[in-house]
């Protein structure tokens, strides 16, 4: 950090460092610094999201299309949104269930199609492999591994019969596949988290340290 | 009212509602600082560089009628301000969303009469200077009925038929067997433990909004948990991240208290809105865990990077923990830090297992029926492919 920092820049760096360190202090125990940072964080995010939703949903997706493009039919989802405010009036709060029912019902319906289309079918297509791959024993073994892994995992999630006998043995193979996959995910995610930690440590060392060296 | 004023108002309101400590003035000071800082960065005083707008992906795109196209853009301003993103020449069925953090996305879902060529101008502006990119989109004409997706329709009909059939059987009183899932039985045990200890139960229905099926499954399980806490008169805390979940959660919990005849014991603040931001929510819930020391923490729904933070804190607080999510990347953390974990579809099965309602049982049995068909399809496909005659069969499941 070669160039001289202004007062505002110093203040901002110190504020960020304070918030980082006070959040890290939770590793020791709950304390007043953590509580203060927690409430600032929660309060600011609540306020930020009001602004965000107002701008990106109410203005950009409701008001602008209705006013600028004449999409008058958007008044119906608008009404569903307004109905949610009936929760503030105990006598009429049941009306908000209309909006809730609409969203929950739609979600379930859309999810079925998107799951079939986006998850299940691609998985099935990727699992239908030839065991005669032309790549020798290793190729056949790899294809077999994929097929056995998918089938045994599917059987683990079969709830209509007790997992005993052949079904139980296959389900146990499935749980092995699942656990190996989780192990890989675990390692992958931990590496990601460590890089986040390194990012914060770098900030404290370079930026906060730079500010410290300029001040003192 | 400009956004910074919103932030001040809601920050202070949130703080004053959630705390009555001496640090209130400090929090107010920080909030005012942020707001002042937002105002202070006026374009005139700071603007030296124009913003830079980057299109993530190609600027020439093809799409079929009926499909959905999402184009992401990212912008930066070397002066430190966040550019405002807008779009011009938007056609019907297109919307541009500015996330107000320099990122934005164009969503275009052309209808079946929108064949043609379109050009959209995307603009990033800091109020004084601007940058723009043009995206050319060609919408291809297609017929309304997509024969390439016939397999989806067939499976959809099979699934729907199976669900209806099983639901009908369940309604007629036929016993539909569902195997025992260990994590589900642990829920009642955990609430019983909380009752004995005189401590609350913390239930988190995930951090996704209500348009996530995992959240809906979590709310279904919340209903069952609330019934038990109502029966035992055990305090229940349900922190949520979205207003819609707040409303739905309150309905579910109130209904549960009504069903067991304890409506008088129902407290509307059982389900409470905490924060909209992921890690602000996590920080607050972590604080609740350490201060209230719930005897049982139940996590059921969609979780993301906060999963281990929550589960580790709950573990440190000495709570019994039961988790359920369908996110494979988060399950390892729950498995490591919780006493019981419902993996993937077990979360969805849990709600029907607990309730034994015909409709939910029918759904679960219908899914099992489809799984059997899928296993058969895979085995048949592998045999056909191995004899080099299965290309057409595999192609049935390749959905464009």
B78-108: per-residue pLDDT in tens?
777 788 898 988 888 888 888 877 888 888 8
A84–B247 C-beta distance less than 8 A: yes
Q: What is the distance in angstroms between the Cα of A52 and the nearest Cα belonging to chain B?
A: 7
CB interface of B with A, residues 289-328, below 8 Å:
290-291, 305, 308, 328
B283–A37 C-beta distance less than 8 A: yes
The stretch B256-266 carries a mean pLDDT of: 93
Per-residue pLDDT at B298: 96
CATH of region B182-355: 3.40.50
Per-residue pLDDT at B287: 93
DSSP letter for A6, please: P
Residue B10 burial (10 A CB sphere; 0-12, 13-18, 19+): buried
CA angle, corner A165, sides to A162 and A170, nearest 5?
85
Residue numbers in B near A49 (CB within 8 A): 276-277
**What are the pLDDT digits (tens) for B337-375?**
999 999 998 998 887 887 778 888 898 999 999 999 999
A121–B213 C-beta distance less than 8 A: no
Nearest CA in chain B to A31: B287
Structurally, at CATH architecture level, domain B52-140 sits in Sandwich (2.60)
- B152, B181, B328: residue with CB nearest A121: B152
ipTM: 0.86
Is B68 within 8 Å of chain A by CB? no
A48–B378 C-beta distance less than 8 A: no
Per-residue pLDDT at B65: 83
Residue numbers in A near B146 (CB within 8 A): none
Q: What is the distance in angstroms between the Cα of A205 and the nearest Cα belonging to chain B?
A: 22
Per-residue pLDDT at B28: 54
Per-residue pLDDT at B4: 45
Nearest Cα residue to A103 out of B326, B219, B240: B219
pLDDT band at B29 (very low <50, low <70, confident <90, very high): low
A120–B100 C-beta distance less than 8 A: no
The residue extents of the domains of chain B are: 3-40, 52-140, 147-173+358-395, 182-355
Per-residue pLDDT at B47: 58
Nearest CA in chain B to A121: B397
Which tokens hold the place of B31? 């909030």
Whether B1 shows a pLDDT value over 60: the answer reads no
- B3, B96, B379: residue with CB nearest A60: B96
pLDDT band at B43 (very low <50, low <70, confident <90, very high): very low
**What are the pLDDT digits (tens) for B301-311?**
999 989 999 99
Residue numbers in A near B87 (CB within 8 A): none
A159–B331 C-beta distance less than 8 A: no
Report, as ranges of residue numbers, the positions in chain A whose pLDDT lies below 70: 1-2
Task: Work out the percent of chain B whose per-residue pLDDT is above 70.
Answer: 87
**What are the pLDDT digits (tens) for B371-383?**
999 999 999 999 9
pLDDT band at B33 (very low <50, low <70, confident <90, very high): low
**What are the pLDDT digits (tens) for A100-159?**
899 888 888 888 888 888 889 999 999 999 998 888 899 999 999 999 999 999 999 999
Per-residue pLDDT at B168: 93
Nearest CA in chain B to A106: B211
pLDDT band at B144 (very low <50, low <70, confident <90, very high): low
Nearest CA in chain A to B34: A44
Token match 């029912």: residue?
A101
**What are the pLDDT digits (tens) for B118-136?**
999 999 998 888 899 999 9
Nearest Cα residue to B205 out of B191, B195, B215: B215
Mutate: best of B2, B5, B9, B10, partner A, most A CBs <10 A: B10
Identical fold between B52-140 and B182-355? no
The rounded distance, in Å, linking the Cα atoms of A102 and A79 is 12
Residue numbers in B near A19 (CB within 8 A): none
A158–B371 C-beta distance less than 8 A: yes
Question: For chains A and B, what is the number of CB pairs under 8 angstroms?
Answer: 258
Distances (CA, A) of B299 to B200, B226, B285, B320, B337: 14, 14, 12, 11, 12
Whether B40 shows a pLDDT value over 50: the answer reads no
Cβ atoms B100, A51 nearer than 8 A: yes
Residue numbers in B near A95 (CB within 8 A): none
The rounded distance, in Å, linking the Cα atoms of B388 and B370 is 26
Whether B23 shows a pLDDT value over 50: the answer reads no
Whether B281 shows a pLDDT value over 50: the answer reads yes
Residue numbers in B near A10 (CB within 8 A): none
Residue numbers in B near A50 (CB within 8 A): 6, 10
Whether B387 shows a pLDDT value over 70: the answer reads yes
pLDDT band at B5 (very low <50, low <70, confident <90, very high): very low
B275–A42 C-beta distance less than 8 A: yes
**What are the pLDDT digits (tens) for B203-236?**
999 999 988 889 988 999 999 999 999 999 999 9
pLDDT band at B2 (very low <50, low <70, confident <90, very high): very low
CA A25 from chain centre, in angstroms, equals: 25
Q: Which residues contact B278 (CB under 8 A, 6 or more apart)?
A: B207, B241, B304, B305, B306
Is B136 within 8 Å of chain A by CB? no
Which tokens hold the place of B204? 């988190």
Residue numbers in A near B7 (CB within 8 A): 44, 47-48, 51
Per-residue pLDDT at B182: 78
- B330, B332, B365: residue with CB nearest A183: B332
**What's chain B's Rg over C-alpha atoms?**
26
- A48, A120, A158: residue with CB nearest B368: A158
């Amino acid at each position: 950090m070669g160039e001289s920092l202004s007062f505002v820049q110093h203040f901002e760096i110190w504020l960020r460092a304070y918030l980082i360190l006070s959040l890290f202090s939770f590793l020791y125990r709950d304390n007043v610094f953590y509580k203060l940072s927690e409430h600032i964080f929660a309060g600011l995010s609540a306020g930020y999201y009001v602004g965000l939703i107002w701008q990106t949903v109410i203005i950009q997706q409701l008001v602008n299309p209705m006013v600028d493009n004449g999409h008058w039919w958007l008044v119906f989802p608008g009404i569903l949104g307004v109905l949610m405010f009936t929760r503030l009036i105990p006598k009429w709060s049941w009306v908000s269930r209309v909006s809730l029912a609409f969203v929950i019902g739609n979600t379930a319906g859309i999810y079925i199609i998107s799951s079939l289309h986006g998850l299940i079918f691609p998985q099935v297509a990727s699992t239908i492999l030839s065991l005669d791959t032309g790549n020798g024993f290793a190729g056949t073994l790899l294809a077999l591994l994929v097929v056995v892994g998918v089938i045994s995992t599917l059987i683990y999630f079969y709830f209509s019969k007790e997992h005993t006998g052949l079904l139980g043995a296959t389900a146990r193979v499935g749980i092995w596949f699942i656990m190996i996959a989780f192990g890989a995910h675990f390692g992958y995610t931990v590496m990601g988290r460590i890089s986040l930690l390194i990012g914060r440590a770098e900030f404290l060392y370079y930026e906060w340290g730079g500010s410290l060296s300029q001040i003192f | 009212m400009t956004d910074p004023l919103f932030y001040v108002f809601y920050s202070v309101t949130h703080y004053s509602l959630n705390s009555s400590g001496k640090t209130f003035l400090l929090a107010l000071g920080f909030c005012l600082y942020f707001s002042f800082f937002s105002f202070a960065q006026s374009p005139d005083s700071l603007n030296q560089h124009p913003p830079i707008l980057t299109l993530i992906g190609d600027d020439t795109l093809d799409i079929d009628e009926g499909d959905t196209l999402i184009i992401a853009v990212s912008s930066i301003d070397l002066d430190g301000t966040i550019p405002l993103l807008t779009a011009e020449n938007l056609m019907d069925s297109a919307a541009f969303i500015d996330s107000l953090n320099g990122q934005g996305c164009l969503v275009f879902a052309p209808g079946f009469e929108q064949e043609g060529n379109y050009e959209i101008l995307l603009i990033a502006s800091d109020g004084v200077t601007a940058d723009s990119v043009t995206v050319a989109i060609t919408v291809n004409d297609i017929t309304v009925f997509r024969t390439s997706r016939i397999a989806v329709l067939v499976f959809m009909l099979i699934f729907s038929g199976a669900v209806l059939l099983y639901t009908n059987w369940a309604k007629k009183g036929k016993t539909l067997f569902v195997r025992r899932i260990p994590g589900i039985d642990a829920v009642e045990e955990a609430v019983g433990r909380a009752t004995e200890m005189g401590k609350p139960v913390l239930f988190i229905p995930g951090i996704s909004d209500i348009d996530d099926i995992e959240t809906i499954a979590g709310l279904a399980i919340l209903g069952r948990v609330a019934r038990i806490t109502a029966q035992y008169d055990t305090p229940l805390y349900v922190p949520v991240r979205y207003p819609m979940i707040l409303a739905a959660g309150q309905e579910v919990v109130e209904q549960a208290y009504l069903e067991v005849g304890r409506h008088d014991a129902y407290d509307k603040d059982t389900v409470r809105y905490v924060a909209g931001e992921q890690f602000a929510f996590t920080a607050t819930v972590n604080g609740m865990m350490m201060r209230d020391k719930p005897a049982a923490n139940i996590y059921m729904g969609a979780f993301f990077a906060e999963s281990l933070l929550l589960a580790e804190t709950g573990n440190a607080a000495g709570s019994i923990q039961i988790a359920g999510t369908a996110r494979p990347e988060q399950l390892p953390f729950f498995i490591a830090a919780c006493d019981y974990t419902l993996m993937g579809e077990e979360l969805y099965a849990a709600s029907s297992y607990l309730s034994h309602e015909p409709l939910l049982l029918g759904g679960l049995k219908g899914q099992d029926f489809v799984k059997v068909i899928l296993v058969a399809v895979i085995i048949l496909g592998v045999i056909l492919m191995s004899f080099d005659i299965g290309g057409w069969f595999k192609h049935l499941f390749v959905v464009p």
